[in-house]
Structure 1
């Protein structure tokens, strides 16, 4: 972290301390490692202490990507996440308040404190959820049913709120340029094609021809774009809804409390994008064998419940036939996104791409781990068994 970035963060923290009346305060900043789970940000835990006050625990994200990678597409690192906390979340909270949604059914997010949008020095400062007992999921493990069910419940709340917004203010929903993804489709497609080379390399010989044919068909521009766009029911998707981007704490009754974080990749798409993404990047073969259908059904059940809490009629807004139609259309996406996301999710920390200002797009290609080889071949087998490959 360079000196001018430290200066930016220190100034922001001083302003937060002043706004929260932390007089004569001490500010401690501790850099933390993501353990190979984050490639776009430098991460820091911050403690602001003052006499007679409880410590204020904050989480700071500082943009780590420099000009080299941004030359491919000029963008502000936390632009979407900033939009989420400053505008969209307030819209969602107003919808929940107007419909008198009980606290247990409301979307929970970290508290937003401040942001800086200066190019290449972007900063986002949020509540440190680990101070409340939340922790990150072990990305090398498979989800279980208890964890999956609560994660899906959280996802349903997120989707239902975006549907409510689209009905409350269709013009703003349709015309919001911050949530359009088309500008980055070509970049995503190029990255995907690069990752597919590793997938083919580790695929068992008897399945190589099948996976090559599948990937060639699925990475045609119009086909790939179809997975990203709305189909019948447009929603604002998380865009990277995997266990690594969720925080959880275990309650006294053994259940999980799950909170989604990292809203950097929100965009307008279809509900199945997040659902397929979550299942195939977070589960192993055993989970899918026992819980795939149950997880899919649980999502639809929870989405209907979330819509009803917002005084919306699920059968009119997202009838069962639309859900099943979108599920069928998006099933190939589970395998396709696995070829891109799983190498990053399963990479060992020592082999993970190093976060530096000089990193470029090609540096995001993680070397296939033994766990990746196992996971991707199991998914390929599942798709063969389902008759989709």
Structure 2
């Protein structure tokens, strides 16, 4: 059973299952919520490979306020301090980046949605956060209590889930242009300055070399030779697609848009709502990098053949429609032609993302990799399902002429 502590508000700091700084954060939230006495229940959460930059917990607070009984459900993502600043990603900076999105950016955007009287069902769907989040912990509502659940990282997504996800992604991307219209100075100072948190260093190069070699062990003949020939271009091309000049960037990109970072709600057994989470790698960049990341990490070859073009149309149509609710013409800020050109030019980003992330995406649940020693030292023990997906991705890029 998870630990439960009955205590007065002043005793919250004694809940030893929480890190010291987090105890203070939770104590402040409980105080702000008006609890007089309460029971605090802390539970560790395992994601079976869906999260590598933090340890997860839920906190349930049940007790009394001056207005009667109350229950509060919190979700905590605690930083793994062992991942250092010289790694591929500065994890402390990533927590601050996500905190900025939840505490500041989304609140500004919500105020704009209020101004334009956007109906709730048409808004960007985000999780409520608490102001106590910082570089040590992200504190959010536990939306599993309203039936949102995580998605299986091994699964090939359904078309409906992909459609719901890309509708939300289009709104996230459109948000940049809407804020630029409503708050131009804020946009210039706070959004355009969101550079990528990736460090394209030796560790990144070593990781890409290791994952590319692992992929080639699985391939044969022409496919293996073509990937070997492509490898020398990968580090430079990958960094160029992410680390672009501000004048070449388009909007806020999620940076890690994959099925792992979606919460899904169903109605009558069918997907009905999607919520995007994990904004730690958000940056000012190109929107098609998010689409390509999502498509190639979450689909197989048959899905792409059947649905990729339709999903591109749905994404841009959603982007166009959402902007129109705020009086903005999509063609004036990011035309469909530019979107199509960017998608075609950067399509091989999908291949590189798959190669880079397959050890995390397909890590066996009984031998999950440890991140403390960095990406370059990851053990590449993957579920057998990665082979079919890899062959499909490589075959696609051979057919399309990128390999």
**What is the TM-score normalised by the length of structure 2?**
0.87
Tell me, what secondary structure is at the counterpart of 2:315? Answer: helix
Shift of 1:352: 1.2
Matched, 1:36 2:78: no
1:308 to 324, 330, 351: 324
Provide the residue aligned with 1:152 in structure 2.
Answer: 166
> Residue 61 of structure 2: SS of its match in structure 1?
strand
Q: Contact 2:173 / 2:252 at 8 angstroms: preserved in 1?
A: yes
Which moves more between the two structures, 238-247 or 252-261? 252-261
Aligned equivalents of 1:175, 1:365: Cα separation in 2 = 41
CA distance, structure 1, for counterparts of residue 268 and residue 385 of structure 2:
32
Q: CA deviation at 1:49?
A: 0.2
1:236-315 matched pairs, under 5 angstroms: 236-252=252-268, 254-315=270-331
Question: Alignment partner for residue 116 of structure 2, among 96, 99, 105?
Answer: 99
The counterpart of 2:75, out of the listed 51, 59, 62, is 59
Tell me the C-alpha RMSD between the 2 structures: 2.3
1:84 to 89, 97, 101: 101
Deviations 1:218-251 (A, max 9, x none): 322xx32321137856111111110110001112
Taking the aligned partners of 1:191 and 1:163, their CA distance within structure 2 comes to 35
Deviations 1:14-51 (A, max 9, x none): 21111101221111100011111111111001100013
Contact 2:297 2:354 in 1 (8 A): yes
Deviations 1:150-197 (A, max 9, x none): 001010110001122234444443443761127623364553333222
**Counterpart of 1:325?**
341
Return 5+ residue gaps in structure 1 as ranges.
none
What residue is the counterpart of 1:49 in the other structure?
Answer: 62
Contact 1:114-1:126 at 8 Å conserved across structures: no
**2:77 and 2:139 in contact (8 A); partners too:** yes
Give the equivalent residue in structure 2 for 1:11. 24
Runs (4 or more) in structure 1 with deviation over 6 Å come to none
Cα distance change on mapping 1:163 and 1:200 into 2, 3 Å: farther
Could you tell me how far apart the structure 2 residues matched to 1:149 and 1:206 are?
Answer: 34
> Is the partner of 2:76 in helix, strand or coil?
strand
- Larger relative CO (CA 8 A, sep 6+): 1 or 2? 1
Alignment of 1:156-175 (within 5 A): 156-175=170-189
CA distance in 2, matches of 1:215, 1:83: 36
Q: In 1, distance between residues paired with 2:363 and 2:374?
A: 18
> 1:386 and 1:45 mapped to 2: Cα distance?
45
Q: How does 1:137-148 map to 2 (within 5 A)?
A: 137-148=151-162
Shift of 1:291: 0.6
Corresponding residue number in structure 2 for 1:180 = 195
Aligned to 1:78, the other structure's residue is in SS state helix
Superposed displacement of residue 359, structure 1: 3.4
Q: Offset at 1:253?
A: 8.2
Which SS does the other structure have where 2:58 is aligned?
A: strand
- How much does 1:339 deviate? 0.3
CA distance in 1, matches of 2:146, 2:16: 31
Structure 2 counterpart of 1:127, from 141, 156, 159: 141
**Kept in 1: contact 2:77–2:137 (CA 8 A):** yes
Give the drift of 1:8.
2.1
Among 235, 256, 260, the alignment partner of 2:251 is 235
Q: How far did residue 269 of structure 1 move?
A: 0.8
**Structure 2: gaps (5+ residues):** 1-14
Bigger shift: residues 203-212 or 17-26: 203-212
1:69 aligned counterpart, secondary structure: coil
Equivalent pair of 1:181/1:268 in contact (CA under 8 Å): yes
TM-score, scaled to structure 1 = 0.90
Distance in structure 1 (CA, Å) of the matches to 2:198 and 2:273: 35
